[in-house]
Amino acid sequence: PESSRSPNHVAVDETVIRLDDEQYWLYAAVDPESNDLLHTQLEPTTNNALADRFFADLRDKHDIDDATVLVDGSASLQRACRKHDLDFRYERHGNRNSVERVFREIKRRTTSFSNCFSNAEAETTDEWLRSFAFAWNQLI
């Protein structure tokens, strides 16, 4: 996704996606006003260091220092927000629903991707996710 956005709110979440028999964690940030994907990161696991890196990369790409970050109950995402001195709010519904809708679509499409391109490497999947994010943002 293109850089240099300055959203008022950013909905952030992590979810598990399956590729063949392997499980990966997809971190994503969505602008709830536009439903645009701001940043994605695919990882083989989830932990505090990866959540920290996700926010560092997100901050490098976009001006989110004045944004309110909407997170769910994920302790690692909340801790990373504190570490990066970001204003965050626990929200299960409301504006965070936008990231859930995007995740549903990504999961649906990664299942199709995995079925069509079995044995694809994680790097290939990551490139596909970036292409998907670009196309998604053009259609929204």
Domain boundary assignment for the chain: 9-139
* Average pLDDT over the chain, rounded to an integer: 84
Q: Are strands 87-90 and 68-71 parallel, antiparallel or unpaired?
A: parallel
Distance CA 72, CA 49 (A): 18
Tokens for 72, please give them: 């769910």
Q: pLDDT tens, 25-48?
A: 989 898 988 888 899 998 999 999
What's 9-139's CATH class? Answer: alpha beta
- What pTM was estimated for this model as a whole? 0.79
Say whether pLDDT at 111 is over 80.
no
Number of DSSP helices (H) and strands (E) in the chain, helices first: 4, 5
Distance CA 80, CA 26 (A): 16
